[in-house]
Structure 1
């Protein structure tokens, strides 16, 4: 399936690859099995073909919004679009250029300050695990084993939108128009041709009448739900964290390599947080448009979806903070372990010096040439010195620990756990629940156990309670 997809893409992108500056424009349509019709344009002369495609769609389905996807940028693109789309924004092709070549993002905002009837625009980098983008379109993801972890560029899916709203289409002024710009790469092409239009047309709210402000909110949120999944990114980060912990505890790699890999993960976390916060700020900015819509339209489920998205993003933000802290703690642990290893090595050298330094000094004394010593005297002196050095070396740490225990006895104190300090199993249940083995059950069982003929309690219950109290 993946190979067939590659072949279809190669046939569709052949003109682009050979450099004839062709741009593929897809216009959404209910009549097509793939929910869009496609036209290839190479210059302003192809504008009539594009206009006929849009006109046929509008006349066939007059109540459907016109969704147009464009996979490239050329200076003449504005002339093609103006053949059937009102030129409210004189630099419409600039948005496509920003998507293709620029690296900055743009908040949803009016494209011009000239009046109310101007389009809304935004440029957003959607974020997901790189493999997910390929798996979603039945393509094999590239391998990054030789290059290490994927760069942040592979997590991004860049999209620009031009929400014209009503009044933009020449053929029907009541039909809203939305133009989506993507890049001409395999993943973007497959997402647009295999997923995006199907996703839009399966939405129950696709053809609901909306004002321009609601239209940009609907388009922004639907593209976000389709292309961005922070839960996938967090899952991948957790996997990387588990790998780092296994490597740290098992000492599987050199410490320099382990810390370098974790530093790269922390750097990626900082980058992810920048994109996440931009998504969060964009949603919050769009939420303010609710005040501008009529009262009856404020009950649209669209606004609840946006509220949920903001809550999820805030939760993801705190999760990324905790993961970043865990990575930093692991890096600190690596340094602490390395310092402990170096300290152990130093203590070993200290022990060796303590053992042999007196013998070395004794050998130097016997090596003085102006004094004649009998060789056997060195042996008589070296044996006691060696015994004294060894005794001092091994007994001194023990003596220090004993002195510390007497001077600072708090270090040897241990708090004994008491059952009354903890909530026992069953105690947190309601009073009408009888859990065998719990204190509440025994006390309650004793209180409600029927008395004997003489008014006394059965002995078995007393034994159980006395045993529990002991």
Structure 2
């Protein structure tokens, strides 16, 4: 019993007893485009090895894609039956996918030699509702401000692009291992979407170098799992909701302001992941120089360029949305300041009306004065009338005085044709072209040689009398 307790104390946080792991091996023979093997320990390694061997025999030189949806300490022994031993850290990547929070750029797993695999850990991003709707599940509950947790945006994937030379059964077969989490959403993506998506790609069977292999795998998983356009659409919907709440005053101002601040914070978080995607693509683009010249025309590199351009456009759009949220926050403060100013103006008006009456009441309250109380009424009524007239006319009088001493004039600049480019012209009219005095000189024309000779003569005359030409 004591030994068992010591064993439990030594158990790591990622070890969950003898939990089973589902491993899928891509295959075009299967209707689901993969064969599934459930392993619950190292004793199941031979069944996994037979599945890989059958795949290699059935489709020689066909790339092998392996999907693993969890981690156990014995996973490396299972993978070791098919993958060479000198790549013994593959299972550690599965552990990092499950329990680590950091992301990893696509990079070589080792610098000790040329034939080394490539690895990466990335959080692909999409609207949480899309993930859960795809498996007919209700999305997770949002917080009090209607924002889903940032973790629900992420689809965490780890990949190990072994390339050629890794498979024990055939050295010419490229191998790629994809690690995901054992969640219903991940299970749906792997079993229903990923393998058919990869096999439908026309470039799947194209022979390529290891550098191209990691670029292909990274980009294809990105197109499958990430949709920044969905996220931008969701943020735009929340922006419209915030604008409606702000303009129609549906919620208290403190609640509206807090919601807007949370939206801005969320945009900053999303932009961090977007920039990580952008930097990852740019890092992979540099691998183009390492592949042979004849392979640099692969459409894969155009896809990489398109992805970078799209991410830069999305980043600009997110900046615009962030600026609009900040404008709404500033609008809320301006509205509050305006309301406080209006309230102060109302109190000033009330004070102006009743201050003279209060002054009269203080006079009648002096004990040494024995005037009859009715006299206060005779004095208060005219004073109140004068106060009302003064209060009503004072703003108008002030505006009239300001208009007399500080007149407001309107100065409107007239548009001039010479400041704009006319239709059909290639240069704006305000560009001074040497030798060209009129508009016809600013447009390219295909003229015969005689016309060119005449224009040369006119240019020579213009050099002699430039001032006269300008006056004309």
With the shorter chain as reference, the TM-score category is 0.7 to 0.9
Flag the 1:147–1:386 CA change in 2: closer, same or farther, 3 A. Answer: closer
Flag the 1:73–1:242 CA change in 2: closer, same or farther, 3 A. Answer: same
**Any conservation in 2 of the 1:89–1:112 contact (CA below 8 Å)?**
no
> How far does residue 428 in structure 1 lie from its aligned partner after superposition?
4.4
**Corresponding residue of 1:104:** 102
SS in 2 for 1:409: coil
CA distance in 2, matches of 1:140, 1:33: 29
Match of 1:35 among 33, 36, 51: 33
The normalised TM-score by structure 2 is: 0.83
**Corresponding residue of 2:410:** 413
**Any conservation in 2 of the 1:125–1:159 contact (CA below 8 Å)?**
yes
Deviates more, 1:382-391 or 1:241-250: 382-391
Match of 1:376 among 370, 374, 377: 374
CA distance in 1, matches of 2:391, 2:423: 57
**Any conservation in 2 of the 1:127–1:228 contact (CA below 8 Å)?**
yes
**Corresponding residue of 1:292:** 290
**Any conservation in 1 of the 2:140–2:148 contact (CA below 8 Å)?**
no
Match of 2:253 among 229, 252, 255: 255
Deviates more, 1:266-275 or 1:400-409: 400-409
**Any conservation in 1 of the 2:25–2:52 contact (CA below 8 Å)?**
yes
**Corresponding residue of 1:451:** none
How far does the alpha carbon of each residue in 1:414-435 deviate from its partner, in whole angstroms, 9 at most, with x for none?
7498897999xxx8479xxxxx
**Corresponding residue of 2:233:** 235
**Any conservation in 2 of the 1:20–1:42 contact (CA below 8 Å)?**
yes
Flag the 1:156–1:53 CA change in 2: closer, same or farther, 3 A. Answer: same
SS in 2 for 1:122: strand
Flag the 1:301–1:418 CA change in 2: closer, same or farther, 3 A. Answer: closer
Match of 1:56 among 54, 58, 61: 54
**Corresponding residue of 1:72:** 70
**Any conservation in 2 of the 1:127–1:157 contact (CA below 8 Å)?**
yes
Match of 2:127 among 126, 129, 144: 129
SS in 1 for 2:107: strand
**Any conservation in 2 of the 1:137–1:194 contact (CA below 8 Å)?**
no
> How far does residue 381 in structure 1 lie from its aligned partner after superposition?
1.9
| Unaligned ranges ≥5, structure 2 | 1-15, 426-472
Alignment of 1:22-421 (within 5 A): 22-144=20-142, 148-410=146-408, 413=410, 415=412
CA distance in 1, matches of 2:333, 2:353: 30
Flag the 1:429–1:243 CA change in 2: closer, same or farther, 3 A. Answer: farther
CA distance in 2, matches of 1:308, 1:174: 31
CA distance in 1, matches of 2:60, 2:248: 65
SS in 2 for 1:160: strand
SS in 1 for 2:67: strand
SS in 1 for 2:120: strand
**Any conservation in 1 of the 2:83–2:167 contact (CA below 8 Å)?**
yes
The normalised TM-score by structure 1 is: 0.83
> How far does residue 393 in structure 1 lie from its aligned partner after superposition?
1.2
Flag the 1:19–1:76 CA change in 2: closer, same or farther, 3 A. Answer: closer
**Any conservation in 2 of the 1:64–1:207 contact (CA below 8 Å)?**
yes
> How far does residue 363 in structure 1 lie from its aligned partner after superposition?
0.1
CA distance in 1, matches of 2:55, 2:137: 31
Deviates more, 1:320-329 or 1:375-384: 375-384
Q: Supply the RMSD in Å over aligned alpha carbons.
A: 2.2
**Any conservation in 1 of the 2:145–2:259 contact (CA below 8 Å)?**
no
Deviates more, 1:331-340 or 1:375-384: 375-384
Aligned pair count reads 411
CA distance in 2, matches of 1:147, 1:276: 23
**Any conservation in 2 of the 1:164–1:176 contact (CA below 8 Å)?**
yes
> How far does residue 227 in structure 1 lie from its aligned partner after superposition?
0.3
**Any conservation in 1 of the 2:18–2:41 contact (CA below 8 Å)?**
no
